[in-house]
Amino acid sequence: MAESDFVLEGARLTVRSDLDAGREDALRRACEQLLKCRAAELVVDLSAVKYVHSLSVGMLSYAWVEALSRDLEMKFVVSKEVAEVFERTGLSKVFAYEVRAKG
């Protein structure tokens, strides 16, 4: 997977591939770039993602906390598989997200 798997357009970060083990550093770099945006609402689009490794779940949580600390809102657009991960981890209770099928 390449850095092009992470596409930043304005205040929207689109992840185009699964977040397997070892992808958390690339995800961190992409999230850091997103957090530099001056928009009040940031969007992380995970609708093409079917698998998220636990370290990437942690990185998404870290990015969300960083956004809050900067008075920014971070929302997620996710696949049903990622929504299930959010449910199992309890993040569905804190993250603002919508489920959207890619296609």
CATH class of segment(s) 3-99: alpha beta
Per-residue pLDDT tens for 12-61? 999 999 999 999 999 999 999 999 998 989 999 999 999 999 999 999 99
Tokens, residue 86: 């959010």
Q: Delimit the domains of the chain by residue range.
A: 3-99
The CA distance from 4 to 41, in Å, is 23
CB atoms near residue 77 (< 10 Å): 18
pLDDT value for 1: 43
**Prediction pTM value:** 0.93
Mean pLDDT, the chain, rounded, equals 94
